[in-house]
Structure 1
Amino acid sequence: MKQNEIKRIGIVGSGIAGLSAAWLLKNRYQVDLYEQNDYVGGHTHTIEVPEGNDRIPIDTGFIVYNEPNYPLLTKLLDHLQVETQNTDMSFAVSIDSGSLEYAGDNLKKLFAQRQNLINFQFLSMIKDILRFNKQCQNHIHQDDYNISLGDFLDLHGYNHQFRYNYLLPMAAAIWSCPTNTMLSFPFNSFAQFFRNHGLVRIKNRPQWKTLVGGSWQYVKVMAGALGSRVKTNQSVASVRRTTDGVEITTKSGHKESYDALIIASHADQAISLLENPNPLEAELLGRFRYQDNTVYLHTDSALMPRLRDVWSSWNYIAEDDLNTQQRAVSVSYWMNRLQRLNAEKDYFVSLNPLQSPQEEHLIEKMVYQHPVFDSGAMWAQQQLADIQGKQGIWYCGSYFGYGFHEDALSSSVQVAASLGVQVPWSKQSEVTTLQPDMDQLASLARSVGI
Structure 2
Amino acid sequence: RSNLWSPRFYGLLSEILRFNRRCKALSAQGVPSDLSLGAFLKQERFSEFFAQHYILPMGAAIWSATLGEIENFPLQFFIQFFHNHGLLNIQDRPQWYTIKGGSKQYIPYFTREFAQQIHLNTPVKAIQRTQQGILVSTEHGTESFDEVILACHSDQALQLLSDASPQENSILSAIPYRENEVVLHHDERLLPALPKARASWNYHLSASRTQPATVTYSMNILQRLDPAAPQFCVSLNNSAAIDPNKILGEYRYSHPVFSQTMVAAQARRAEICGQRHTHFCGAYWYNGFHEDGVKSALDVCQRLGVSL
TM-score scaled by length of structure 2: 0.93
1:219 to 107, 112, 117: 107
Please give the residue correspondences for 1:156-171 in structure 2 after superposition, counting only pairs within 5 Å: 156-171=44-59
Shift of 1:272: 1.2
Partner of residue 88, structure 1: none
CA contact (8 A) 1:281 1:387 kept: yes
3-state SS, counterpart of residue 132 of structure 2: coil
Partner of residue 257, structure 1: 144
1:163-202, Cα deviation, whole Å (9 max, x unpaired) = 1111111111111211111111111121121112111111
Shift of 1:258: 1.7
2:202 to 315, 320, 323: 315
Alignment partners' CA distance in 2, 1:158 and 1:261: 48
2:88 to 200, 221, 229: 200
Partner of residue 19, structure 2: 132
Alignment partners' CA distance in 1, 2:281 and 2:251: 23
Identity %: 37
1:413 to 298, 302, 305: 298
2:186 matches 1:299: yes
| Aligned Cα root-mean-square deviation (Å) | 1.8
Partner of residue 67, structure 1: none
2:234 matches 1:346: no
Alignment partners' CA distance in 2, 1:391 and 1:296: 41
Alignment partners' CA distance in 2, 1:141 and 1:380: 24
Shift of 1:145: 6.4
Shift of 1:253: 5.5
Partner of residue 213, structure 2: 329
Shift of 1:328: 1.5
Please give the residue correspondences for 1:359-398 in structure 2 after superposition, counting only pairs within 5 Å: 359-398=244-283
The size of the alignment, in residue pairs, is: 306
Asked which structure has the greater RCO (Cα within 8 Å, sep 6+), the reply is 1
Which residue identity is paired with 2:305? Answer: G
CA contact (8 A) 2:65 2:212 kept: yes
2:74 matches 1:190: no
Shift of 1:144: 4.3
CA contact (8 A) 2:34 2:260 kept: no
Alignment partners' CA distance in 2, 1:417 and 1:124: 49
Label 1:143 to 1:168 Cα distance change in 2 as closer, same or farther (>3 A). Answer: closer
1:39-69, Cα deviation, whole Å (9 max, x unpaired) = xxxxxxxxxxxxxxxxxxxxxxxxxxxxxxx
Alignment partners' CA distance in 2, 1:221 and 1:386: 33
CA contact (8 A) 2:174 2:261 kept: yes
Shift of 1:125: 2.0
Q: Please, which runs of 5 or more residues in structure 2 have no aligned partner?
A: none
Alignment partners' CA distance in 2, 1:351 and 1:228: 35
Alignment partners' CA distance in 1, 2:33 and 2:129: 42
Which residue identity is paired with 2:250? Answer: K
1:321-363, Cα deviation, whole Å (9 max, x unpaired) = 2x4x324221111111101124621111111127342222111
Partner of residue 11, structure 1: none
Higher helix share: 2
2:9 matches 1:122: yes
Q: Which moved more, 1:301-310 or 1:143-152?
A: 143-152
